[in-house]
Amino acid sequence: MYAFEMERPQTIADAVAALKDEDAQALGGGQTLIPTLKQRLAMPSKLVSLHGIAQMKGVCTDDDGRICIGGATTHQQVSESAGDYPALAWLASRIGDPAVRNRGTIGGSLANNDPSACYPAAALGSGAVIVTDNREIAADDYFQGMFTTALNEGEIITEVKFPVPSHAAYMKFIQPASRFPLVAVFVAKFDDGVRVAITGASEEGVFRWGEAESALSGNFAPEAVDGLSVDPSGMIGDLHGTKEYRAHLVGVMTKRAVKAAAAGETGVSSAH
């Protein structure tokens, strides 16, 4: 690891000020950033730890009934406190392993936008709002391709607001070595339609499967997805699965997610 300074501000304002320095970078739970630093793939001059900012931690419900999660809230806290949105709490409870969940944060996960991460699927699948230190960004505008987001340099995610659907489920097909999804699908049924977000599959990162959404908005049943497919050419292909395999899994996991959501279940994680 290259050397850097560490700052530990107590307020959002102080963190934003500290991040104005050139080459300063935010530190959330460090569960992605620290391994990256070890491999010398990042070279910040200063890390600004968000861990001490009490304003950025915790889960509450706003006047519109949305679940609001502080940007520095750990996966473990979400799994314990977001019970009013069971599919979201369940998703958080299955990220990585217990030690990762005790440190890793929702803000860090969404800022990183790993093409196989779990939270991006929940945020896009729920039509969440990403709140930063200076604006609100709709999930539909936030995710801009693998490891790319609408965040500006030094901008931090302070909160994420999730509308709560009537039915939702997350189906995670695990890549057992990394514990990340090989492919996972988040399905959410709202009064005005169904959203389907897919992670782990596309070279563009998390995406909405529009065709399935239209079909499911008419008929919220697994059969509605019969005959639909995604184009393998844009899928990730690697030693864990070919493009065609991932494209196939998108359909299978979507059906399973719909079946679970319709039955009032929150999700399942499965492996090869």
Partner 1 sequence: MSHVSMKVNGKEVGGEVEGRTLLVDFLREDLKMTGTHVGCDTSQCGACVVHVDGKAVKACTIFALEAEGAEVTTIEGMANADGSLGVVQAAFQEHHGLQCGFCTPGMVMAGAALLKENPKPSEAEIRQYLEGNICRCTGYHNIVKAIMAASGQDVEPPAVAAE
Ligand X SMILES: Cc1cc2nc3c(=O)[nH]c(=O)nc-3n(C[C@H](O)[C@H](O)[C@H](O)COP(=O)(O)OP(=O)(O)OC[C@H]3O[C@@H](n4cnc5c(N)ncnc54)[C@H](O)[C@@H]3O)c2cc1C
The CA radius of gyration of the chain, in Å to the nearest whole number, is 18
Q: Kindly state whether residue 30 participates in binding ligand X, applying the rule CB under 6 A.
A: yes
Q: Which is nearer to partner 1, 2 or 227 (CB)?
A: 2
What is the nearest approach in angstroms of partner 1 to the Cβ of residue 52?
9
- Binding footprint of ligand X, residue count (CB under 6 A): 30
Q: What are the residues binding partner 1 (CB under 8 A)?
A: 1-6, 8, 30-31, 34-35, 37-39, 47, 49, 51, 76, 96-100, 102-103, 177-179
Q: Kindly state whether residue 112 participates in binding ligand X, applying the rule CB under 6 A.
A: yes
Q: Which is nearer to partner 1, 9 or 125 (CB)?
A: 9
- Phi-psi sector, 129: left (phi>0), alpha (psi -120 to 50), beta: beta
Q: Which is nearer to partner 1, 116 or 126 (CB)?
A: 116
Residue 52, burial from CB neighbour count under 10 angstroms (0-12, 13-18, 19+)? middle
What does 232-268 look like in DSSP terms, one character per residue?
GGGB--BTTB-HHHHHHHHHHHHHHHHHHHHTT--EE
Cβ atoms within 10 Å of 128's Cβ, excluding its own: 27
| Length of the chain in terms of residues written | 272
What is the nearest approach in angstroms of partner 1 to the Cβ of residue 47?
7
Binding site for ligand X (CB under 6 A): 25-33, 50, 71-72, 95-96, 100, 104-105, 107-109, 111-112, 114, 117-119, 156-157, 179-180
